[in-house]
Structure 1
Amino acid sequence: MFPHNKPSSKEESTDKNDTTKKTLLPEQLVYTIDCKQGAVRAVRYNFDGNYCLTCGNDKTIKLWNPKKQMLIKKYTGHGYDVLDVAGSNDNSQLASCGSDKTVIYWDVGTGQIIRRFRGHAGRINCVEFNEESTVILSGSVDSSVRAWDCRSRKSSPIQILDEAKDSISSLQVTDHEILTSSIDGKVRRYDLRVGTMFSDFIGSAVTSAKFSKDGQCILSSAHDNTLRLLDVTTGEMLGEYTGHKNSKYMIECGLNYKDDHVLSGSEDGLIYIWDLVEGTITKRVAVRPNKVIHSLTLHPEENLMIAACEDKIYFFTDENYEPPDDIG
């Protein structure tokens, strides 16, 4: 997916259908859901993209069928705002975190709490499962990432990553790597195979960092109104993406499922979409004028995106989307 692998204009023009497919983007607003959770702190697709989860400042988590706009279940148990949630790889458990300094491990079907994990000294911003969904990792304003064993009855974390000098803003876990971003201006990558940590200095508070689908690049978003694409191995900057506004809030970014477009929320009520290679803005998608679009989640296999703004989530797709026949 490196920029130097971009096909020539001649190659692009010889396959009109393929070019058409590549330009399809999740830019069409299909519907809006009032989550009735106060402010929605985060929205996340589950592992296979069939459902989504919302975190509210009313201390709840809600599980939705987004295509049918249907609320499936509500989870209560946090003492303050819920700031992040993640689903296990078989969709049978959830992990959530929030301002109560607690990580909660849930049974999806019953809505019951399986375990509570405590140990962070401050608000927990982000949570993720490992690939086997046997370990939960959490990142906090206390500058640490902690790993919790779901199968153990011990209350202490099995590992603490404390290299950051400020709040952990985002977290992503693959089969052998942990990626974190921090307000200290660094993106850190932990390679579990060799027990080594690599860091890239961005220079401004980093609000979000995501691996590309092929694992070769890292996309980061920072408080200098800039997204950067970094080479995983060398740390070389492969691209910059500007035009949006992000200087104050925790704005999330991501890559679409084809790894050819960059997407980000913004503080001006728009979602911005850039061409990965060219670095030019392809679309500005209006959501709510002059409001902060802070959280967004991209479907793992389709041109679908859900964004959160204040008390609502917004479902976007491409122009070829066909809603389910039984949609309400």
Structure 2
Amino acid sequence: MKTPRIRHKLASHTGSANVAVFDTTGDYVFSGGQDKRIVLSNAGSGQPVQSYEGHGWAVQGIAVSADGGQMASCGGDRLVFVWDIGTAQISRKLVGHQQRVDCVAVNASGSVVASGSFDKTVCIWDLRAAPRTPLQVLRESRDGVSSLAMTDSEIISGSIDGCVRTYDMRMGRMLEDSLGSPVVAASIADRAGRLLVVGCMDSTVQLLDRRGGNGSGSTVVATFTGHRCAEYRIRCDASDAVVASGSEDGFVYVWSAVCGGGDGDSGGGRQHASRLAGHAGIVNGVMLHPQSGTGSANDGVMVSAGSDGNVIVWE
């Protein structure tokens, strides 16, 4: 595993950059911050392309549709916005949460949006129906919902109550994995969709095999440590080759991981950690390039967002 270096440092925000994500091509980066703005930048050149303004409070979460035409965002104003990326106009304002909305996800077709809130709920919105109210509200969480991911048939939520919940929307069932510490990030870790990467406030990042070992949930196959996540919602990510996380100590951490290994060796991650300097403050989260882990030239490419207002593209 090569150690990534800084390709571009983007001074995108006044105040903290709370979140940064790639579009599905990896050519563009969307970032949201305390300044209530979303900034679109070219990941290759580092140049800003567009600014999206409309939120009344800090932007906490961003998700981009697979076709690159729509973006969903959420924030402290309790709203979810759906944007037309090309025109930078808000096409929908989704109202339903009672407290800050921390995370948002979009399905592959861009027809369904899910949002998670500090009010302990996940709202599901069908954009084909001009929604005035959520299509469905999931209320199983006992604390704030911190992260969301979607597949064609599932919604995966992480909660401060220490659980990851996987909702099979086709079968109408829910599986709950208890991690024993507040969950601040949860997403699919590999292309096969077998593994989840979960970040917790006990300063661990864990890989969970969704096939489980007891017929009712997932099995932890690897645990990675070294970074710090004890007070803030720090986002992590993983591919078939690496695991990466932000950290409260100001560094980006990258561990080598063979996602298909499943040997349960929690020490393996620690032995191969790289600590990357570039931010002057808390690193709120990272996202790997969509082609990471494929053996392509983008294997070392990722983006990070920091409390210093900077967004860094690494390669």
Which aligned pairs between 1:1-328 and structure 2 lie closer than 5 A? 23-25=1-3, 27-213=4-190, 214-234=192-212, 235-256=218-239, 259-277=240-258, 278-279=268-269, 280-288=271-279, 291-301=281-291, 302-303=298-299, 304-310=301-307, 311-317=309-315
Query: Per-residue CA shift, 1:85-140, capped at 9, x if unaligned?
Result: 11111111111110000011111111111110101010000111112110111000
Alignment partners' CA distance in 1, 2:272 and 2:248: 16
Query: Per-residue CA shift, 1:137-184, capped at 9, x if unaligned?
Result: 100001111011112223010011110000011100011111110000
AA matched with 2:64: G
2:97 is paired with a residue of what secondary structure? coil
**Pairwise CA RMSD of aligned residues?**
1.3
AA matched with 2:154: E
Alignment partners' CA distance in 2, 1:300 and 1:246: 24
Which consecutive residues of structure 2, in runs of 5 or more, have no partner in the other structure? Answer: 213-217, 259-267, 292-297
Distance 1:152 1:33, change over 3 A: same
TM-score by length of 2: 0.89
AA matched with 2:200: A
Q: Do the aligned partners of 1:37 and 1:60 also contact (CA within 8 Å) in 2?
A: no
1:294 is paired with a residue of what secondary structure? strand
1:151 is paired with a residue of what secondary structure? helix
Alignment partners' CA distance in 2, 1:42 and 1:36: 11
AA matched with 2:201: H
Alignment partners' CA distance in 1, 2:186 and 2:178: 13
Q: How many residues align?
A: 291
Alignment partners' CA distance in 1, 2:209 and 2:37: 38
Alignment partners' CA distance in 2, 1:236 and 1:297: 24
TM-score by length of 1: 0.86
Query: Per-residue CA shift, 1:202-236, capped at 9, x if unaligned?
Result: 01111101112221111111111111111102111
Which consecutive residues of structure 1, in runs of 5 or more, have no partner in the other structure? Answer: 1-22, 318-328
Q: Do the aligned partners of 2:103 and 2:148 also contact (CA within 8 Å) in 1?
A: yes
Q: Do the aligned partners of 2:26 and 2:43 also contact (CA within 8 Å) in 1?
A: no
Alignment partners' CA distance in 2, 1:136 and 1:288: 32
1:203 is paired with a residue of what secondary structure? coil
Percent identity reads 36
Alignment partners' CA distance in 2, 1:91 and 1:288: 28
Tell me the equivalent position of 2:262: none
